[in-house]
Amino acid sequence: MGLISEGINKVRAFELPAGVFRDGDSVGVPRTALLRWQSSWQDKFYQVYVSGRYCGTSRDTNQRQMFVQLPNSFSSSVRIEVFAVDACEADVDFSGELADSEGKSGRVKIGLLREQNLALGARVNIYFDNGIGEIDYENPVNSEPIEIWADWQDKGGFGMSRFGRSDFGRDWSAGAGFAMGYYGRGQFGVDADLIEWVSEQLPAGVYKFAVKIIDGEGNESEPIECEEIFVEPAAKGVESLQVISFDEAEKKMVLGTN
């Protein structure tokens, strides 16, 4: 059945005091919070996910609170979610189902397949338009060219090894193994290595990226342009949030920080 979000409400995270000063102010336990929630379910276990990562499961169906570890982040907010699950799935990590709902980071990730037909010494440069609509091919975004074959690797392929004598009846010597690369994206439907590049944090906007491959002699390929990417940075976290004012007639509340 998987994760169930219906029927769970009033999820609250509380700071744990590590000490209290004479004037009443307190200092919190770093990176730890007490999480509490209410639920209409009586026969479900509960799983907690912090920023899309599995954090723990309740010990029984009556538990409605849990201590959670928080990531050490001062630039973005932390998302905490509570789900109900069936008893048979209490220990199953469903974080893969939350991949599409991960918090936005303001960074762009580009994946490059390490194709077997690329020459030794080949490098990659990445370019972008800086949000103005025209890609700047004079100044790569990466500070240094990305080495496709950074380490020595035997290249696998049809007719390059003893025919059909490799693992799973394949015909190669030392290519990426089963489920050890980017599954099924290589030549002949076998696995391939995946190179990933992550940008610096970008302001909100629409960006275009492009990739060029450079061989060992300095020859450049035609640029391969990506589709437009909309970047939305994560909301910045706040501390010591308090009520500034409340309009009883309009039912509007104004929040602020110290």
3: phi > 0 → left, psi -120 to 50 → alpha, else beta; which? beta
Assign a CATH topology to domain 104-233. Answer: Immunoglobulin-like (2.60.40)
pLDDT (average), residues 6-35: 86
Domain ranges of the chain: 8-101, 104-233
pTM for the full predicted model: 0.51
Percent of the chain residues topping a pLDDT of 90:
30
Express each pLDDT in 156-172 by its tens digit.
444 444 445 555 555 44
**Which of 30, 35, 42 lies closest to 57 in space, CA to CA?**
35
pLDDT at site 115: 66
Q: Are 74 and 58 in contact (CB under 8 A)?
A: no
CATH 2.60.40 fits domain 8-101 = yes
Which position has the higher pLDDT, 180 or 251?
251
Q: Are 92 and 84 in contact (CB under 8 A)?
A: no
Express each pLDDT in 40-57 by its tens digit.
999 999 999 988 889 999
Instruction: State the Rg of the chain over Cα.
Output: 25
Tell me the C-alpha distance between 87 and 44, whole Å.
6
pLDDT at site 89: 92
Tell me the C-alpha distance between 209 and 179, whole Å.
29
pLDDT at site 125: 93
Q: What is the DSSP letter of 87?
A: G
The two three-digit tokens of residue 60, written as one number: 């029984």
DSSP structure string for 42-106? SS-EEEEEETTEEEEE-SSTT--EEEEE----SSS---EEEEEE-GGGTT---GGGGGGGPPP-S
Q: What is the DSSP letter of 160?
A: S
In the numeric block, the tokens 């290595």 are attached to 193
C-alpha distance from residue 167 to each of 1, 80, 152, 156, 193 (Å):
36, 43, 21, 12, 17
Q: Please give the angle made by the CA atoms of 192, 198 and 203, to the nearest 5 degrees.
A: 150
Q: Are both 8-101 and 104-233 of the same fold?
A: yes
